[in-house]
Amino acid sequence: MTDSLDAQNDSRALEEGLAPLREQIDGLDRELVELLNRRAEVVVEVGKLKRDKGGAIYAPDREQRVLERVRALNEGRLLPDTCIEAIWREMMSGSFALERPLRIGYLGPPGTFSHLAARRKFGASVEYDNLADIPLIFEAVDRGDIDYGLVPIENSTEGFVTPSLDGLMNTRSRVCAEVLLPIHNNLLANCDAPDIKVIYSHPQPLAQCRRWLSAQFPQVPRVATTSTSKAAEQAAEEPGAAAIGTTLAAQIYGLAIQFENIEDSGENTTRFYVMARQETGPTGDDKTAIYFTTKHRSGALADVLDVFRDEGINLTHIDKRPSQRKNWDYVFFVDLLGHISDPHVSKALSEAAEHCLELRVLGSFPRATQPL
């Protein structure tokens, strides 16, 4: 009896305490909606100007500055930066819808890591196109079927993504932004662990989880699929099958998450390029992506690299692929720190070009420092 009286008193005190606090929240929400819409009215003006004068709707340099500014304003405050950043990203997604609805292409089917990266970068107010393979993403941007296309470039554990580097050699589009996505692999299945008879996934996650799989499922065959979502789709249909994929794929294909974060390296991260038919202005903390083929003489590659060393330009990524034009001819892909409009960068690129058969600038873009 006393217990139930105490409980009633607590519940009344809770209600009485909550009521004025919730009233304050309601008032603040009213102000926030008002402020958000006043911001939106300005964005509509930005959109009109861009449509009239031909400016790009997505401005990665401005996006970077806005995010940096709000992170600085938030310093020492209550909400974590990640929360502030997520709110602003979603707000800027709304800005796209007000300026001109954007179509974003990614490597499908829905639920892939590329889908996750695209959603975190562009938010809920754009349209998404899932494309069957990476060459199709480049083609769709080139043709103008989509506004922006995300392509995975390299993974911190497994290295470069072959079709993306090959796509860069053949595209007319530019790299306008980069995205870092922490990759957390999950084992998805609708049966218990001892009943798993086959594990499907894309070759990259299979490799990223090699040690974990060997320790936990040494006898279970691993079968490669074209994407993690295809793997999830198959696991959902086939009794005794599991897939390595995203939590988003688990939701979409109705699979249970049996094990989380099974990647061998806790810092497993994939870097994506955002491809577009536009150039990005400087922010002061940028990268430039290029590819080149060197002349056939000894020391040609060293000559190119020396130019960057002499200008004090830091290279953040270097990979090579066969040129596919002639046997044993290679194309080198380099990301360097700096924007093409920085005088020392443009000087170094002109000098480097003298040692090359071909040197193409793929684009300058803000350096991604924060994983999405």
Ligand X SMILES: O=C(O)C(=O)C[C@]1(C(=O)O)C=C[C@H](O)C=C1
Enumerate binding residues for ligand X (CB under 6 A).
Answer: 43, 46, 58-59, 62-63, 66, 92, 95, 99
- Residue 40 CB, shortest distance to ligand X, in Å, is 9
In angstroms and rounded to an integer, the radius of gyration of the C-alpha atoms of the chain is 25
- Residue 370 CB, shortest distance to ligand X, in Å, is 16
Long-range contacts of the stretch 302-307 (C-beta < 8 A, 24+): 303/355, 304/332, 304/352, 304/355, 304/356, 307/348, 307/351, 307/352, 307/355
- Residue 112 CB, shortest distance to ligand X, in Å, is 24
- The smaller minimum CB distance to ligand X, of residues 99 and 286, is found at 99
- Residue 276 CB, shortest distance to ligand X, in Å, is 12
- Residue 341 CB, shortest distance to ligand X, in Å, is 18
- The smaller minimum CB distance to ligand X, of residues 177 and 255, is found at 177
- The smaller minimum CB distance to ligand X, of residues 3 and 52, is found at 52
- The smaller minimum CB distance to ligand X, of residues 95 and 364, is found at 95
- The smaller minimum CB distance to ligand X, of residues 53 and 77, is found at 53
- The smaller minimum CB distance to ligand X, of residues 126 and 169, is found at 126
In sequence order, which residues have a C-beta less than 8 Å from that of residue 337 and are 6 or more positions away?
286, 287, 313, 314, 315, 316, 367
Q: Which position's Cβ is nearest ligand X?
A: 95
- The smaller minimum CB distance to ligand X, of residues 284 and 312, is found at 284
In sequence order, which residues have a C-beta less than 8 Å from that of residue 241 and are 6 or more positions away?
189, 196, 197, 198, 199, 200, 234, 235
Tell the burial category of 23 from Cβ atoms under 10 Å away from its Cβ (0-12, 13-18, 19+). exposed
- Are 229 and 108 within 8 A, CB to CB? yes
- The smaller minimum CB distance to ligand X, of residues 53 and 326, is found at 53
Q: CA 206 to CA 204: how far, in whole Å?
A: 5
The DSSP string of 331-370 is EEEEEEES-TTSHHHHHHHHHHHTTEEEEEEEEEEEPP-S
Strand order in the sheet with 356-366: 315-322, 330-337, 286-294, 356-366
Residues forming beta bridges with residue 198, ordered by sequence position: 241
- Residue 78 CB, shortest distance to ligand X, in Å, is 23
- Tokens for 194, please give them: 């001892």
- Residue 50 CB, shortest distance to ligand X, in Å, is 7
